[in-house]
Chains A and B, each alone.
Chain A
Amino acid sequence: MKTYFILASKNLKRKKLRSWLTLIGIFIGIAAVVSLISLGNTLKAAVNSQFDIGARDIISVQAGGVGWAGPPGSAVSTPLIEEDTNAIERIGSVEYATSRLIRTLKSEFNDKVSFISATSLPDNKRISEVFRELDISIEDLEYGRLLREGERGKIIIGNNIADGKRNGFGKDIRINDKILLNDQEFRVAGIFERKGSFTIDSVVLMSEVQLRELTNLTNEVDLISVKVKNIELIDFTKEEIEKLMRIRRNVRESEEDFTVSTPESALASVNQILLGIQIFIVIIAAISIVVGAIGIANTMATSVLERRKEIGTMKAVGARNKNIFYQFLVEAGLLGLIGGIIGVSLGIGISYLGTTSLHSFLGITTKPSIDFILIFLSLMGSFLIGAVSGIIPAMKAARENPVEAIRG
């Protein structure tokens, strides 16, 4: 067996450029598979880690449906209002419901202007519940303290907002620094340590009343966060909320202009999208691998024609049909393997690049998952693809009549 590999690799050294070009398909395919799986896992882990923040017994309600299209010309759906929150809270299985405003504010610091997204905290004792929902406590703060209920003129910020390299102000924000939000002055009361989660690292938390003042909103609500009394009742409660909201907003079933999501359903829909992307790339990979395999078959068929004299000579000196067959088969396999090696290296490169850009984009800190089993299987797979593509040319080579072949 070893001999076949030595002979085949000697033959490969002689291969012409066009033979290598036929490998493009194989290495694109393998690169796609490797980067897809590594990157897909990273992406999944990253997305799931975003959803891991917060309690699992919380339902969130937002205006706008999944795939909901409003009347032509209207980009914004009917907003939620404070009364919706109160109505939801009256559902039997609901422990409480809190309103949340999430708004973009103009911010100024170090004489530079940037836009940040601010999230409201209730101005009552529910503030502690919201901290629990967001899974934050005093221990998560790198500096300072959490806000107290109804505390005005103070904010707590995530690590990305404080970090001069990431916040767009070109300067670190420190505890007690003054920052202008929609031209009003705020002091930084607390800075979170880096959590590796976009939601917390880029957060700005402030009093709800004050955020309403800054944005001139009186009754509008961006998100209603609902805690169920018992986690077992979460799906039941979700349906109850949907029923209630349909009536309140006067819409029919399956025409909802709002979304009620549980942590599980949100995660599921994100994973659905990821799966879609994966299927798409798998199809591309499969097509390129098929093209590559045809390329190898073609290269090997040409090679058999070019080397008839060699085949004849080998037979004259005692090569049996199966010797010739295996030699060409191994050669095709090695051709595939080389494509695979290039593909795997390319794939690893892509997944490192992809992870790095995910880092800077989402501010997360996941490592690219380079799976050695995956690499091994990809290499094995590319050898097999090559060998399978080489079966017919190798059979043709093995069946050459020595008398005719030796003449060339």
Chain B
Amino acid sequence: MDEKKNIIVLKDVAKHYSMGHTIIKAVNGINLKIKEGDFVAIMGPSGSGKSTAMNLIGSLDVPTKGEIYLDNHNICHLSESDLAQVRGRKIGFIFQQFNLIPNLTAKENVMLPMIFQEVKEAEREERAQKLLETVELKERINHYPSELSGGEQQRVAIARALANDPEVILADEPTGNLDTKTGEKVMDFLNKFNEKGKTVVMVTHDNELAQGHAKIIYWLKDGKINKITKKGKSGWKSIKNGK
């Protein structure tokens, strides 16, 4: 019934870490499909495996078992360099700590992902300028991160995430370091880009934030999807219940 294509598909994905003699099953058999234009939240308490899940979805990490398809390409067998290329092109990251490069200006930070995709300099400048205008930071383009407020830094990060026009924006606790008001502004931008057709995947432990913005929520517990809830006309309804 849904005609939209799958952007990210996880099939029986598991990620195990060995810590001394014990094996930690951070993610243990996850199946999920994220469709184009979705606004997905991944929820769960700390230790539920949501960070690991985010790293896997963002192709920062490869699974121990299972398969991950990004835009219909299996990324599990890519070399580190190819993975970086794919990641740079298809996924835009937003971090809780903003993670801007401190010695680059706002504009240079936005230009950075384009450098790795070998975009020409004039085009890089033009696109960075436009993106910063969209996040309402036109006046701040030549400021360094230390000269920007947290909210402004996160908006630079959003502009950077959009630099290569990726399919997916992956946000890890995007409002975690911001007060409610600035957090809302950041979320407004994410919503705006989602309305324009960008897929947004947000990892959070904030129930209110997830329910306020996402359309689908995956509830993680002990490395597994415990529950999936979907926003309908009559509120949230559960479409899958964990064992």
Residues of A within 8 A of B (CB): 3, 7, 10-11, 13-14, 309-310, 312-323, 402-403, 406
The 6 A-B residue pairs whose C-beta atoms are closest, nearest first, are A318-B88, A318-B116, A317-B113, A313-B99, A320-B81, A320-B84
Which residues of A are found within 8 Å of B99, using beta-carbon distances? 309, 312-313, 316, 406
Interface string of B135-167 (1 = CB under 8 A from A): 000000000000000000000000010011000
21 pairs of residues in contact across A and B, judged by CB atoms under 8 Å: A7-B104, A10-B103, A10-B108, A14-B102, A310-B102, A313-B93, A315-B60, A316-B60, A316-B87, A317-B93, A317-B112, A317-B160, A318-B117, A319-B88, A320-B85, A321-B81, A322-B81, A323-B115, A323-B116, A403-B60, A406-B99
- Say yes or no: A403 contacts B61, CB within 8 Å: yes
A313 to B113, CA, bound (A): 10
Interface string of B92-121 (1 = CB under 8 A from A): 010101011111100010001101110000
Which residues of A are found within 8 Å of B100, using beta-carbon distances? 313
- Say yes or no: A318 contacts B103, CB within 8 Å: no
- Say yes or no: B103 contacts A11, CB within 8 Å: yes
Q: What's the tally of chain B residues with a CB closer than 8 Å to chain A?
A: 29
Check: B50 CB closer than 8 A to any chain A CB. Answer: no
- Say yes or no: A321 contacts B101, CB within 8 Å: no
Which residues of A are found within 8 Å of B113, using beta-carbon distances? 317-318
- Say yes or no: B84 contacts A406, CB within 8 Å: no
Check: B174 CB closer than 8 A to any chain A CB. Answer: no
Which residues of A are found within 8 Å of B160, using beta-carbon distances? 317
Residue of B80, B84, B88, B116 contacting most chain A CB atoms (<10 Å)? B84
Which residues of B are found within 8 Å of A11, using beta-carbon distances? 103
- Say yes or no: A318 contacts B101, CB within 8 Å: no
A323 to B87, CA, bound (A): 15
A358 to B191, CA, bound (A): 77
Out of B60, B81, B101, B117, name the residue touching A402 (CB < 8 Å). B60
Query: In B61-99, which residues have CB < 8 Å from any A CB?
Result: 61, 80-81, 84-85, 87-89, 93, 95, 97, 99
Which residues of B are found within 8 Å of A402, using beta-carbon distances? 60-61
A316 to B169, CA, bound (A): 12
Which residues of B are found within 8 Å of A321, using beta-carbon distances? 80-81, 84
- Say yes or no: A3 contacts B104, CB within 8 Å: no
- Say yes or no: B116 contacts A320, CB within 8 Å: yes
Measured CB to CB, the nearest residue on chain B to A399 is B80
Which residues of B are found within 8 Å of A310, using beta-carbon distances? 101-102
A406 to B84, CA, bound (A): 14
Check: B58 CB closer than 8 A to any chain A CB. Answer: yes
13 additional contacts (CB under 8 A) given A316-B99, A317-B113: A10-B108, A14-B102, A314-B101, A314-B116, A316-B58, A317-B93, A317-B116, A318-B88, A320-B116, A321-B81, A321-B84, A402-B61, A403-B61
Check: B134 CB closer than 8 A to any chain A CB. Answer: no
Check: B55 CB closer than 8 A to any chain A CB. Answer: yes
- Say yes or no: B60 contacts A318, CB within 8 Å: no
Which residues of B are found within 8 Å of A313, using beta-carbon distances? 93, 95, 99-101
Which residues of B are found within 8 Å of A316, using beta-carbon distances? 58, 60, 87, 93, 99
Asked whether A317 and B88 contact (CB < 8 A) given A10-B104, A13-B103, the answer is yes
- Say yes or no: A3 contacts B115, CB within 8 Å: yes
Residue of B95, B101, B108 contacting most chain A CB atoms (<10 Å)? B101
Which residues of B are found within 8 Å of A309, using beta-carbon distances? 97, 99
